[in-house]
Amino acid sequence: MNRKIVHKIINEITNSYLSNLLTIISNRVNDKKDLNAMLNILINGFKMFKTEHLTFTYLKKINCLFVPSKIAIRSYLTSGRIKKRVKTVLHNSTLSIIFLKDVLKKFLELPNVYSSILSHIEECKNSQLFTFFDSEYWKKVENEKENRIVLPLVLYFDDVEINNPLGSRKCIHKIGIIYSSILGLPYEFSSMLESIFLVQIHNYQDHKVLGNKRIFQHVVNQIINLQENGIIISINNQEYKIFFILPFIIGDNLGLNTILGYSRNFRSNYCCRICYGDISNLKKQSVENISELRTQENYLSHLRNQSFGIQEECIFNSISNFHVIDNVSVDPMHDILEGICRYDLAKILRYFIDEKQFFTLEILNKRILFFDHISSNKNIPPNLSCESIKKGMIILSASEMKFLIENLNFIIGDLIPKNNCTWKLYLILSDILHITSISTITLENIERFNSLTSEYIKLNLKLFKTPLKIKHHHLVHYSRLMKKFGPLNNMSSIRYEAKHKQVKEYSKVITSRKNACYTLSLKHQLQLRSRFVHNF
């Protein structure tokens, strides 16, 4: 529902319902003082919401609405038809940014939020399992924080198409979005979309023209301010000063390579963010080559020559305690669920159905459809097509693919002979997915993951004799990153991409694309206002 309709409803209630109610009350109440008091409440009950301006003023006054700011980033001339005449006009392009400091302060001051975060962090430290707060990175942070309260704050970046992706206007109004979230939230709250905050929306074309520095400088300044100056929150009449630190940036491979200054061509010789191995070797590499890992020293050397896949210096390196080499991340969702699983499951099923004829595609689809899953049937995938299996790519959503990989053992396991090597490949893939999806792991699992990855890549090359994708190569770095940053589900894009659904729904409501970045960010903040108003 757009804001115009909301205010129309308020006016109709005031003009029709309240006028009738006033007449009834005036006829039944005898005491004039009580009558005047009641009438005054009813007449002025919606006064503060009479217009959009008054509504925003009230919400800002009670500190529940944080209106985004428009920042001019470039001006350019465009030609257009105005009143049946072609004219050249000056167009001012802006990005929309939310001041994260205000949002985080309000969020942490909500009932039980701050205490829940601190309790969860302590539970993680005292647990026998391995979490982010047991990682090498966080231990280093604790040694250097000097009795300050520090919380990890992650950023997420992605480009989103708000028009029809197959239509004639695709990419014209495409936007880039940056979200943020606090890593210390308890597991039952960390996946809530309300716990992911919007930081910035900008136009994709502006990013393409202006580059990373002009687009992300304001975000970098905010992170520096949060890290150096922190925020002061008041809970139960007691003040606490909270500082934040950026452990890593999340996104898909193209998004991360773009904003971090690496090559965006994944067929180029050096397309890995973590090492500078040649792609011909990466496609068959089964273990991490320590000698080819990127370091701050070789980064500077490669940057000077713009070689080995480094195209520009990362804008986020200006944040203290952050460097694109040391604070590197991967994305299990795009690497595994929307990458490796799509390719390899198609090969595995084609082998079972066409070559060995263990079962037919019809039997598989019926078993998937009628599979009785104990938890939920929401993510059951649609019928798999013969064409997608033959083409070597099964297109499913990340949730549907996760469901299929986790349950395929129960769906067709009875139809596969024992000691089948291709089935063994699937079982290893299932184990890899499980370890990268869980919130807590053990050190034994991290070591086991290393051997699983090596075995999976070797067996894959042996069975199918085709070069692997760069997403397969990323797996060899996972084990080391688990030791450094804890469970990799903290780096997954899956909940952030779910957040895109809100923005896409807002874009369907607005008919104008004149200032889409500001309009969409304002709608998001109005949605967040609901949580702040109700204090939950």
Burial of 189 (0-12, 13-18, 19+ CB in 10 A): middle
Cα–Cα dist 58/49, whole Å: 8
The string of DSSP letters for 492-507 reads: --HHHHHHHHHHHHHH
Angular region, 236: left φ>0, alpha ψ -120 to 50, beta rest? left
Strand, helix or coil at 128?
coil
Instruction: Print pLDDT tens along the chain (536 aa).
Output: 566 666 666 666 666 656 666 666 666 666 666 666 666 666 666 677 778 788 888 888 888 889 999 999 988 887 777 777 787 877 788 999 999 999 999 999 999 999 999 999 999 988 888 999 999 999 999 999 888 999 999 999 999 998 766 666 676 788 999 999 999 999 888 888 999 999 999 999 999 999 999 999 999 999 999 999 999 999 998 999 999 999 999 999 999 999 999 999 998 999 999 999 999 999 999 999 999 999 999 999 999 999 999 999 999 999 999 999 999 999 999 999 999 999 999 999 999 999 999 999 999 999 998 887 665 557 889 999 999 999 999 999 999 999 999 999 999 999 999 999 999 999 999 999 999 999 889 989 999 999 999 999 999 999 999 989 999 999 999 999 999 999 999 999 999 999 998 888 888 877 777 888 999 999 999 888 888 887 76
Cα–Cα dist 123/85, whole Å: 68
Residue pointed to by tokens 């109700």: 534
Indicate the pTM of the whole model: 0.89
User: DSSP alpha helices (H): ranges in 185-320?
Assistant: 187-190, 204-210, 212-228, 253-259, 279-282, 296-305
- 197: tokens are 């905050």
Cα–Cα dist 104/182, whole Å: 9
Closest CA to 503 of 528, 531, 523: 523
The string of DSSP letters for 60-78 reads: HHTT-----EEEEEEEEEE
- 44: tokens are 């002025």
